[in-house]
Structure formats: C-alpha cells, structure tokens
Amino acid sequence: MKIEVSEETLQKAEKCWRGFRCLSAEKGVCPVRDYVNGVLFVEKRRDTYCPYDVTFGYSHICTCPVRCEVYERYDV
C-alpha cells in the first residue's frame, strides 16, 4: 500500500531525521495504542530516539505531524 501525506504536513515535520520512514513501511512506525481528541498515544520503541516522542506518565504521545496524518488517513 502506498502511503501519501500532504506536502504541507511534510514541511511541518522538519525534525524528522529518519527520512519519513513511516511512509514506506508499517513496521517502521510505533504502534498506536489510542487516539483521543487528536492526541496519538503510541507504544514507544525503546531502541530509537524520536524528537516527536513526548513522555506522558507511563505513556508516550507522538507529536509527529506525518505520523498523525498517516493514522488519520489510513488507520495505521
């Protein structure tokens, strides 16, 4: 499946150092635990750093605009 996001969203994700890996393969993204009122809770992969990861208690919130749009459009 080809995943596409808007050019505007790609420009907002200026801190992405992984080359937008979430656009090329599902296994490259942190799995979604929950999505509540526009907040994307994910299962953080411990072996990688991500500038869009926000720790919230024992949870992790993904603030990456690309990841959020991928989830909203494709439920991935």
CA distance to 39, 59, 75, per residue, from 33 (Å): 11, 9, 12
Helix (H, G, I), strand (E, B) or coil at 39: strand
Helices and strands in the chain, H and E counts: 2, 4
Q: Give the model's pLDDT for residue 26.
A: 58
- The model's pLDDT over 66-76, given as tens digits with 9 standing for 90+, comes to 999 999 998 88
Mean pLDDT, rounded, for 41-47: 82
